[in-house]
């Protein structure tokens, strides 16, 4: 069921909120595998676009229903990567699973850059064995990270009462982050059940499951 469109949130969007929950504030690295976080960030962008009434999801397909770009420039840029209304295979849009897989790295990179530019995160550059470059993103605005965690915990105690909190909880679970955000075993179970209800999180979950299967089977 498509949620009633919401105005653009005055606070963090779902991708921003997810990133603040996913990063260890001090060490600046994700609590989950980075590839899984990339998928979840793309899923969070889809979920935010749905909440704002721009897209809908049905039978695993993401479809634009309102081509008016959102005011958020990052969401607008990502929305341009989705087929226009009536486009895509048989006019049905695009596979959510495939889009999440393709757009994950770009989505995470865009939001990391934006939060660094706004002074929420700090970028630290390192080299593995002195050769391979990689980055860490410690949290500078620790109050914002603490507020994100507090909002999530409050929503969890209330049973994730609205669509936005359910979408975020499902994404957290799909990425394998639930045990790092202060939920107990029953709470983690409830979050797992939300994955099938929330189609963006289900697309994330399918990609995570595929990667795990490839790894256990020795596939690439």
pLDDT for 103 equals 98
The verdict on residue 84 lying in a domain is: yes
The residue range of the domain holding 197 is 14-211
Which tokens go with 206?
A: 């399918």
**Count of structural domains, the chain:** 1
> 37-96: per-residue pLDDT in tens?
999 999 999 999 999 999 999 999 999 999 999 999 999 999 999 998 876 666 678 999
Q: What are phi and psi for residue 56, nearest 5 degrees? A: -140, 165
The verdict on residue 36 lying in a domain is: yes
The verdict on residue 5 lying in a domain is: no
The verdict on residue 163 lying in a domain is: yes
Question: Residue 183's domain is classified under what CATH number?
Answer: 1.10.3630.10
Please state the rounded mean pLDDT for residues 139-160. 95
pLDDT for 220 equals 45
Tell me the pLDDT of the chain averaged across its residues: 91
The verdict on residue 217 lying in a domain is: no
The verdict on residue 150 lying in a domain is: yes
The verdict on residue 62 lying in a domain is: yes
The verdict on residue 7 lying in a domain is: no
């Amino acid at each position: 069921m498509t949620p009633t469109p919401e105005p653009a949130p005055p606070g963090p969007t779902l991708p921003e909120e997810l990133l603040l929950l996913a990063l260890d504030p001090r060490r600046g690295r994700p609590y989950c595998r980075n590839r899984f976080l990339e998928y979840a960030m793309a899923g969070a962008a889809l979920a935010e676009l749905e909440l704002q009434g721009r897209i809908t999801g049905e039978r695993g397909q993401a479809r634009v229903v309102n081509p008016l770009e959102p005011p958020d420039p990052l969401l607008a840029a990502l929305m341009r990567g989705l087929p226009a209304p009536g486009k895509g295979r048989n006019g049905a849009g695009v596979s959510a699973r495939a889009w999440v897989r393709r757009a994950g790295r770009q989505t995470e990179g865009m939001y990391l850059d934006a939060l660094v530019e706004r002074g929420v995160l700090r970028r630290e550059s390192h080299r593995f064995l002195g050769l391979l470059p990689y980055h860490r993103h410690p949290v500078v605005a620790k109050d914002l990270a603490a507020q994100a965690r507090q909002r999530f915990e409050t929503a969890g105690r209330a049973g994730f009462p609205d669509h936005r909190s359910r979408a975020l909880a499902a994404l957290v679970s799909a990425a394998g982050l639930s045990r790092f955000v202060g939920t107990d075993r029953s709470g983690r179970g409830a979050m797992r059940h939300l994955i099938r209800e929330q189609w963006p999180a289900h697309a994330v979950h399918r990609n995570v499951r595929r990667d795990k299967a490839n790894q256990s089977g020795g596939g690439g």
